[in-house]
Amino acid sequence: MEKSVLEHLTGSTGSCTFRADEPMAARTTFRIGGCAALFCLPETPEAFIALLDACRQEGVRHMIIGRGSNLLFSDRGFDGAVISTAAMDRITLDGTNVRAQCGAALSRLSAVTAEAGLAGLEFAHGIPGSVGGAVYMNAGAYGGEMSGVVESARILLGGRIEEVSAEKLRFAYRYSALQDNGGIVLSADLRLKNGNREESLALIRDLDARRREKQPLDRGSAGSFFKRPKAGYAGALIEEAGLKGACVGGAQVSPKHAGFIVNNGNATCEDVLRLRDLVVRTVREKSGVDLEMEVRLAGDL
């Protein structure tokens, strides 16, 4: 990125932190990725929108991320601006109604609502993502999904801010209409139920214990690497294909849960992609099932 353009962007908006040549390995849960020419952390929706406008006016390539989960970033980095929503994380409660900004961590949102005696978001406590990404992909776990609690979302679409109902978001398994129309979540309005604080906190503790027992939380990963196929489960199919524990470079099919590809400390994006190809090819040969990535590729590939 040219220095003059970078200087213009960094002077285009207040309430925003900028870092040049930021390693994306430090900004993603996979702990993989080269440097972004400019990493931007707007603190308000107004600063976020102003930054997007400045990128468009200057012709600067840009991409938007949340807290870096469900993301595999290129070893080559990104010669443009990476805009993170993580600092836009305000949560407000009004009875059983909750408004959460796009950057709010799901784990924090789940804890805050449970502490307030509201039930319905316990499932989300262990999902390492943000509200915006969770709405975008209808995140879910342990029988719960965002579609069960989202009432509406405030989105940026075509330069305009719109309020979109849950019905118009057309939620399905790991899908929302935002994946087709390019809408960007600014905040979400959720409708929860009056519950029991102690029961909700106990459920969160139970689900967290189950995750620790079954998932490789001690390694860098992007969560479940493959979408659930129509027949069976990705982890079971990978294990049946004899690939549990398989390695390519520093990337490994987790010995704890074959549905995860983990970073053993020095994995590259290329390692992960080569291991992905091995898994997809072998599972297809063994079971006839085509696995599809759930993790999103990002950066200059």
Give the burial class of 294: count Cβ atoms within 10 A of its Cβ; 0-12 exposed, 13-18 middle, 19 or more buried: middle
Domain count, the chain: 3
- The tens-digit pLDDT sequence of the chain (301 residues) is 555 555 566 666 668 999 999 999 999 999 999 999 999 999 999 999 999 999 998 899 999 999 999 999 999 999 999 999 999 999 999 999 999 999 999 999 999 999 999 999 999 998 989 999 999 999 998 889 999 999 999 999 988 999 999 999 999 988 999 999 999 999 999 999 999 999 999 999 999 999 999 999 999 999 999 999 988 899 999 999 999 999 999 999 999 999 999 999 999 999 999 999 999 999 999 999 999 999 999 999 8
Domain enclosing residue 126, as ranges: 91-200
Q: Which backbone phi and psi does 226 adopt, to 5 degrees?
A: -115, 150
In a domain, 291, yes or no: yes
Catalytic sites, residue numbers: 174, 224, 294
Q: Which amino acid is at 50?
A: A
95 and 138 both lie in a single domain: yes
Domain end marker among 28, 63, 84? 84
105 and 80 both lie in a single domain: no
Facing residues of 18 across strands? 40
User: For residue 286, which of 222, 229, 243, 224 has the smallest C-alpha distance?
Assistant: 243
148 and 164 both lie in a single domain: yes
Burial 236-269 (b: 16+ CB within 10 A, else e): ebbbebebbebebebbbbbebbbbbbbbeeebbb
Give the burial class of 287: count Cβ atoms within 10 A of its Cβ; 0-12 exposed, 13-18 middle, 19 or more buried: middle
Residue 21 belongs to domain with CATH number: 3.30.43.10
Domain end marker among 84, 109, 129? 84
